[in-house]
Amino acid sequence: MVERTPFLNFFTHLILFVGFVFCVAPFVVVAIAASHNLRDVNDVPMSLLPGNDFWVNIKTAWTTADLGPKLLNSFIMAAGVAAGKVIISALTAFSIVYFRYPGRTFIFWLIFVTLMLPLEVRIVPTYAVVADVLSPYQAILDVTGLSWLIEKVSGVHVSLSLGLLNSYTGLIMPLIATATGTFLYRQFFLTVPDELTEAARMDGAGALRFFIDILLPLSRNNMAALGTIMFLWAWNQYLWPLLITTDQSHATAVTELKQLIPNVGGIPEWHIAMAGTLIVMLPPLVVVVAMQRWFVRGLIATEK
């Protein structure tokens, strides 16, 4: 603006700078604490000059919490959720926007309602479903009498069962089962000009061809935005992986962090804990910094 407001400008700078410090301080403190040795990190007040043990601590944290495989698990889960969301939401939105069929509005609402109840809220029964993912279908067969009928006719006793605990599928699937991305695509598809569809149809393109050759390339920006926030969101999941990975081999980096909390009364190994924290917070931070544009855009577009 054109006016001169030196007094106000001073306060603007001051407050923003304080905000900046509060925002960055935890990162800095974690990094500095991770560079101290056991004695220095527990010093009161802790020295803000970095110590010399950074790489040693990182190494210790890495081996104590077995972070190598855990980071890989986190990555597989996050990438799986992001990819699944990007693909499945696109398919659904295409179906809702570009076709007229009976029950379309019903399907729309069926999907819309899933926005209301986050996984954390229905965690106990979802866990039961993942423990045996075919149980809903078995129950339906039982209740409708179909399993009885099949047993009478063919003599085969139907018992469907498939446990997904401690598997990547079990980690990923329930996190995909929400509507977030669908509406992002829907909003975008509605802005695609009808003339484009008409032209494609006139050139003899069917629904599938139009979807793959025209619609998907047009939605590249949406895919990047959705992929970024879904990757971050899945990486940062805690309760769900904590529950379903009873076996260490599928635990994620974020859940492993708990192993590093110093016990009350034990040796206060904060330098190791902070080194582990630093390792776990770094990948999402890198994604935020590198993909800032998509991150902000995806966040604002999906929540609306």
Residue 181 is encoded by which pair of tokens? 């991305």
By CB under 8 A, is residue 138 in contact with another protein? no
The residue among 230, 245, 205, 236 whose CA lies nearest residue 98 is 205
* CA pair distance 186, 184, nearest whole angstrom: 5
Nearer to another protein, 9 or 248 (CB): 9
Q: Which of 72, 149, 212, 285 binds another protein (CB under 8 A)?
A: 285
Query: Is residue 207 classed as helix, strand or coil in its secondary structure?
Result: helix
Selected range binding another protein among 54-62, 116-124, 144-152, 217-225, rule: CB under 8 A: 116-124
CB of 192 to another protein, least distance (A): 9
Which residues in the 55-74 window bind another protein by CB under 8 A? none
Q: Which of 47, 59, 68, 91 binds another protein (CB under 8 A)?
A: 91
| Residues in Cβ contact with 159 at an 8 Å cutoff, skipping those fewer than 6 apart | 138
Q: Which of 49, 116, 153, 156 binds another protein (CB under 8 A)?
A: 116
Which residues in the 264-283 window bind another protein by CB under 8 A? 264, 268, 270, 273-274, 276-277, 280-281
Which alpha helices (H) appear in 114-176, and where do they start and end?
A: 123-131, 135-144, 146-154, 168-176
Query: Does residue 216 contact residue 90 with C-beta atoms inside 8 Å?
Result: yes
Nearer to another protein, 69 or 268 (CB): 268
* CA pair distance 181, 299, nearest whole angstrom: 11
Selected range binding another protein among 49-57, 145-153, 213-221, 284-292, rule: CB under 8 A: 284-292
Place of tokens 């975008």: 188
Q: Which of 56, 76, 83, 88 binds another protein (CB under 8 A)?
A: 88
Query: Does residue 273 contact residue 260 with C-beta atoms inside 8 Å?
Result: yes
Nearer to another protein, 152 or 255 (CB): 255
